Amino acid sequence: MSRRQADANYPLHGLKVLDFSRVLAGPFAGRMLCDLGADVVKIEPPDGDITRLWGRDIAGLPGYYHQQNAGKRNICVDLRAPGAVELVEALVAKADILIENYRPDVMPRLGLGYEVLQEVNPGLIMLSISGFGQGGPESHRPAYAPIIHAEAGLMQRQTNRGGGALNDLPLSIADTNASLHGLVGLLSAVIMRERTGTGQHIDIAMIDATFATDDQIQYALEDAESTAALPNDVWPTGAGPILLSADFRFLWIQLTKLMGIIDPTTKETPLAEKVSTRRAIVGEYMLDLETWGQVEQAMETMNLAWGKVRDPADVIEQPTLRARGAIVDMDDRAGGTRPLTQSPYRFSAASSGVRGPAPHRGEHNAEVLGEWLGHQADSIEVLAADGVLQQDDETLSS
């Protein structure tokens, strides 16, 4: 069975997507659309997505770029070259969705703003992801995830609750939140287009997406931080550190009721002394759990949710991730394989998942233009000679 035939069982089979985005907020949304069966074509400039500089390089494909662009096809277009905008407009006329995450002024300046593209294709659904949204007081500001983490209060909250110096979060929450909210918006617009026949422009601001999905923000909005649940504790055990998702007061009750721990404190014991005494006893109890089997048995007896504090390099051994195929071995285009994150969608009667490695710049110039626009080899050669189409000759010839 060919890939094209197999893809017919994917939920988004038949949707055509132009992905003008770079780094993470846009590419991750495009990757998820691709994993769900859409034909996602990355439109990449000659100087390339900056993530081509990040991660282990195998066969000219660095790991970070590979993870966010796996399964897509690629056209390398110099949008400054004469004839480039006309080529893009021809592709837009055939597309269902366009994703971009430039600053709000960039696409209009290139002659590819929504008003122009809507005239070309009234059914086009365009997703624009930016740090501060379209047309607002800060729309001009460039933004990556750490900027939003700072502006949305996440960095300060991390320090307020955990202590230590101000530092960024160890993952790009603002980018991926914007991606996933953008994905919801896109699919909602596709459904609405079935009723109305028209597309629309979706404006996703990273700061909005972060704020909307911040389950802790209501404490700040209502000046109620003191009413929040006690923070989760990390306890060293004899087997290794664990995070325990339990109010310490409940943990103490369970230990004294079920595990034979004796409380040496009384009603007259000062609160600070009582807390420090009980925490010291819990610390000793945890260290006496010498194997993961003992840890699991104790937590199960007390009906407590817990997790191993894993080194990121060991996550590949996490049992559920392994059992659910969350890490796949993908063709590394150098005669071997490389690990790649799988999309999380599991359908009862449909296929999903990454469908191939990431593309090189310009790898599918001829293939996509032939399929989408009916271009023959001679017209593609003209576009290449005029500098509209480019490709990474070094990697494609190796």
Q: For residue 268, what is the DSSP state? A: T
What's the pLDDT at 6? 60
pLDDT on residue 146? 96
| Cβ atoms of residues 19 and 49 within 8 Å | no
CATH number of 3-216+317-397: 3.40.50.10540
Indicate the SS3 state at residue 306.
strand
For residue 136, the surrounding DSSP H or E stretch is none
Closest to 312 in 3D by CA, of 212, 171, 149: 171
- Residue 127: how many CB atoms within 10 A of its CB? 29
* Range list for CATH 3.40.50.10540 in the chain: 3-216+317-397
Q: For residues 162 and 133, what is the distance between their CA atoms, to the nearest angstrom?
A: 31
Task: Name the stretches of the chain with pLDDT < 50.
Answer: 1-5
Which pLDDT value is given to residue 5?
47
What does the pLDDT read at residue 398?
64
Pairing between β-strand 57-58 and β-strand 39-44 as defined by DSSP bridges: unpaired
| pTM recorded for the entire structure | 0.90
Burial grade of 10 (CB within 10 A; 0-12, 13-18, 19 or more):
buried
Alpha helices of 288-376 — where are they, by DSSP H?
292-302, 319-323, 365-373
What are phi and psi for residue 41, nearest 5 degrees?
A: -110, 115
Which strands, in side-by-side order, build the sheet including 305-308? 233-236, 241-245, 305-308
Asked whether the beta carbons of 27 and 67 are under 8 A apart, the reply is: no
pLDDT of residue 100: 97
The b/e string for 292-323 (b: 16+ C-beta within 10 A; e otherwise) is: eeebeebbeebebebebeeeeeeeeeeeeeee
